[in-house]
Amino acid sequence: MKKNDVRHENALINVQKMLGYHFKRTDFLQQALTHRSYSALHNERFEFIGDSILNYSVAKMLFQAFPRLTEGELSRMRANLVNQDTLAQIAAELRIGDALLLGSGELKSGGFRRPSILADAMEALFAAVSFDADFNTAEAVVRRLYAERIRHINPQDSGKDAKTRLQEGLQARHMPLPKYRIVDQIGEGQDQQFVVQCDLGETGFQTEATGHSRREAEQQTAQTALDWMEKHFPLAKTRKK
């Protein structure tokens, strides 16, 4: 087996591990990760199904998590969770880019990092799971990937999570974006915990948090940084006429 083939096989194994689902038919997995630039048997039709699975699953999670919110409020929250940026973030966390099959042009232009390509592959994967198993299994995968994001939503702030609100708050103040880094990993397997630092750069403020995943720790440390920023750098309130 060639070196590139071995690397791709390892990437496929890692994707399945991160998804929490092992494919019986790896051809479904392969097609979900195949861009149109690589083969005529690509993932665009899978996206069509995956988009529906994603929207239904996230809508149901929000419906259950926020019983007092209106349809409009739930719709806005869902839109923030299923957009290209969020899907690309999840794909990056799962290292989907390592497993993508791209044509030479897309490879040279960094297609494995392009948000649109990562987001499309993520939706295609949800469809692939449903084809390999069933809808309920695909929904379970979505629920696993989105559980922490929904847990950290502030419904009073249009459903945006702490990292998003911190980023937008810094931009509104014309300040550099935060930098996150893992400073420690404790334990193994299900007991593993991540210690993540959030650095607000020129302000000199740094904070750390511990979570059972990198995502959870980042959200917690972002919330602390957000609270500090709003206290020390309040935005001027617009006067009502």
Q: Which domain holds residue 24?
A: 3-155
Q: What is the pLDDT of residues 203-219, one digit of tens each?
A: 999 999 998 778 888 98
Give yes or no: residues 150 and 169 share one domain: no
Domain count, the chain: 2
Instruction: Assess contact for 39 and 101: CB atoms under 8 A.
Output: yes
> Of the given ranges (38-52, 95-109, 152-166), which has the lowest mean pLDDT?
152-166
Residue 120, annotated as binding a ligand: yes
d(CA 49, CA 53) in angstroms, rounded, equals 6
pLDDT band at residue 177, thresholds of 50, 70 and 90?
very high
User: End of a domain among 109, 124, 155?
Assistant: 155
Which one of the listed residues 5, 27, 44, 51 is annotated catalytic? 51
Do 84 and 133 lie in a common domain? yes
Q: Is 218 among the catalytic positions?
A: no
**112 and 226 housed in the same domain:** no
Q: Minimum mean pLDDT among 27-31, 183-187, 224-228: which range?
A: 183-187
Q: Name the E strands within the chain.
A: 179-186, 193-199, 206-211
Verify that 7 and 113 share a domain, yes or no.
Answer: yes
> Does residue 184 carry a catalytic annotation?
no
56 and 113 belong to one structural domain: yes
Question: What is 25-61 written as a DSSP string?
Answer: -HHHHHHHTB-TTT-SS-SHHHHHHHHHHHHHHHHHH
Name which residue leads in pLDDT, 29 or 191: 29
The answer to whether residues 111 and 203 belong to one domain is: no
Asked whether the predicted pLDDT for residue 10 surpasses 50, the reply is yes
> 113-140 pLDDT, tens per residue?
888 999 999 999 999 999 999 999 999 9
Do residue 29 and residue 99 come from a single domain? yes
Burial class (CB in 10 A: 0-12, 13-18, 19+), 85: exposed
Last residue of a domain, one of 111, 137, 155: 155
Are 11 and 108 in the same domain? yes
* pLDDT (tens digit per residue) in 57-105: 999 999 999 999 999 889 988 988 999 888 998 998 898 999 999 999 9
Among residues 123, 155, 187, the one where a domain terminates is: 155
CATH code (residue 58): 1.10.1520.10
* Same domain? 151 vs 40: yes
Q: Name the active-site residue from 106, 123, 132, 139.
A: 123
